[in-house]
Amino acid sequence: MSSRYLITKDSEIIEDVQLFLAYRSQQVEFQFPPTIENDSRRVNWKTDNIPGRDPIAVYESNSARELTLKIEYIVEDPSVENNGQIWSIGKIKQQINLLKGYFTGVVGAPAREGGSFVAAGSMTAYFWHTRITGTSGWSVRIGNVSTSYKGPQIGGGGDSHPLKTTLNVDIATVSFGTPENPEAYWDGLKPFPEYEDLWF
């Protein structure tokens, strides 16, 4: 659902960003195009010290691709018409709950009927952010969701909320194709990406 504050270019970009959470068979909705704040991979080395020389290093493994996604929401004034689409307190709270619920809501989650994602109770998520990530969505896991609030309280009584909400979401790639058999909670994992998938 677009915001009245979006410029045309942002409206186009937001269509090319997807974060689908399998535990609820639901996609996070963005008010503004989220930004990738960090994007990294690393190699894990086993090192041994040698007197008078640089340590020797033996390759052990590589990390997942780790990303930090910044998502922002601003409560909109319901008195200003926007084709019936308003980013209300309730709408924003739904997105926050969807992301934070990932950590506790995976048990007994409903399966999605039809479509490409089949993941009852799965901790798998699927993420795609324009060409920063690759040519299509890939399976990821969520490591952390940090929420901060700014601005005055909007609304009144028990139905009030800060004007601005910022979520920083740590995401890491996860895929099948390892000697170990993934646990049942990791349904729907995609294979390790090929170079042409541009997910490196």
Q: Which residue has the higher pLDDT, 165 or 123?
A: 165
Residues 6 or more apart whose CB falls under 8 angstroms from that of 39 comprise: 65, 66, 67, 68, 132
Could you tell me the two tokens for 34?
């989220």
The answer to whether residue 121 scores a pLDDT higher than 60 is no
- Give me the phi and psi of 65, to 5 degrees please: -75, 120
Q: How many CA atoms within 13 Å lie on the side-chain side of 25?
A: 14
Tell me the mean pLDDT in the region 19-39. Answer: 94
Please identify which residue in the block is written with the tokens 């309280």: 153
Please identify which residue in the block is written with the tokens 């058999």: 181
The answer to whether the pTM exceeds 0.75 is yes
Query: Which tens digits make up the pLDDT trace of 165-198?
Result: 999 999 999 987 655 554 545 778 888 889 999 9
